[in-house]
Amino acid sequence: MNHRDFLGYGLNPPSVRWPGGAGLAVSLVLNVEEGAELSLADGDEGNESVHEVTQAVLGAPDLCLASHFEYGTRVGYGRIASVVAESGVPMTLNACARSLIGVPWLAQHAVAQGHEICSHGWRWESHAGMDEAYERSLIARAHAEITRVAGVAPVGWHTKSSASVNTRRLLVEHGGFLYDSDAYNDDLPYYLPVAGRPHLVLPYAFDTNDMRFFGTQSFVRGGDFADYLIDAFDWLLHESAHGAKMLSIGLHLRIIGRAARIGGLQTALKHMRQSGGEGVWFARRDAIAHHWLREVPPA
């Protein structure tokens, strides 16, 4: 079992500021998973069960599920890209390689807009318990295919749900990754010793995430999402006067890209731009990683 750290930085976080003296780094992460979800129609062993409809289809192609995921690229991406461009902030696209193979235009558009492409794996699947050799091959395949389709190599990795106990070591052994986001335990980046060297982790978040429109439906209207993001932003901005903080905002094409939800993202970004001023740095995750590596070198 991997060692669990319940202390982290404790009461002594590193003394660091973001570029320009900003205290809060805001990271928008747009998950691109459409076409990488499990689907019998695509030759997978079963159908994905997580989408707007909770009834799983077994033993046959799930045409309802397929249609829901298609909305993300057909409509959702353009809507989200427009709002984000209007706000003038960069994003990191957490992209499954199989997704980008099906929509190469999306990867190329995102890169042209100045966004980062991060690897979200080959398929949209957990790696927990995965055979080591098989996982190694998937990491290499995802890296190679994203590089081919997007024209730039991904330097970040984020597994759906749980990584395996081998994932970080395999990423380090691959050599093409600067950071991973397979953690939810801090408001700041940190290092872990992996395969005899320090490895950088940029924690992600499930609370400031549009996935909460699904499942428990903690968010129902776009305003629910906006209010929650604004509360998190305002509090972290307040705390950042005494030490750097990072806010990760998780987005999905087929979720926030719906007409009744997108206004929540627009409202939140407008508030952050207007109230944050020079105290906020909107950044891609690779930029956050590079800054941390430079300003907080591993011990």
What are the per-10-residue average pLDDT scores of the chain (299 residues)?
85 95 98 92 84 74 86 98 98 98 98 98 96 98 98 98 97 97 98 96 98 89 98 98 97 97 98 95 98 94
Domain ranges of the chain: 24-295
Tell me the C-alpha distance between 265 and 278, whole Å.
Answer: 21
Scan for tokens 């706000």, then name that residue. 87
Sign of CA dihedral 219, 222, 228, 229: positive
Q: Please, are residues 83 and 30 in contact by the beta-carbon 8 Å criterion?
A: no
- The reported pLDDT for the residue numbered 1 is 42
Tell me the C-alpha distance between 299 and 279, whole Å.
Answer: 27
One DSSP character per residue, 93-142 reads: EEE-HHHHHH-HHHHHHHHHTT-EEEE--SSS---TT--HHHHHHHHHHH
Residue 148 CB-density burial (10 A; 0-12 exposed, 13-18 middle, 19+ buried): middle
Q: Please, are residues 217 and 259 in contact by the beta-carbon 8 Å criterion?
A: no
- The reported pLDDT for the residue numbered 291 is 98
Tell me the C-alpha distance between 194 and 166, whole Å.
Answer: 10
Tell me the C-alpha distance between 131 and 66, whole Å.
Answer: 28
Helix/strand/coil for 52: coil
Q: Is it true that domain 24-295 has CATH number 3.20.20.370?
A: yes
- The reported pLDDT for the residue numbered 199 is 98
User: Amino acid identity, residue 126?
Assistant: S
Classify 2 in phi/psi space as left (phi over 0), alpha (psi -120 to 50) or beta: beta
- Whole-model pTM: value is 0.95
**Residues whose CB falls within 8 Å of the CB of residue 67, separated by 6 or more in sequence, listed in order:** none
Tell me the C-alpha distance between 116 and 57, whole Å.
Answer: 35
One DSSP character per residue, 222-276 reads: HHHHHHHHHHHHHHHHHHTTTS-EEEEEEEETTTTTSTTTHHHHHHHHHHHHHHH
Phi/psi of residue 38, each to 5°? -65, 135
The H or E element that residue 174 is part of is: helix 167-174
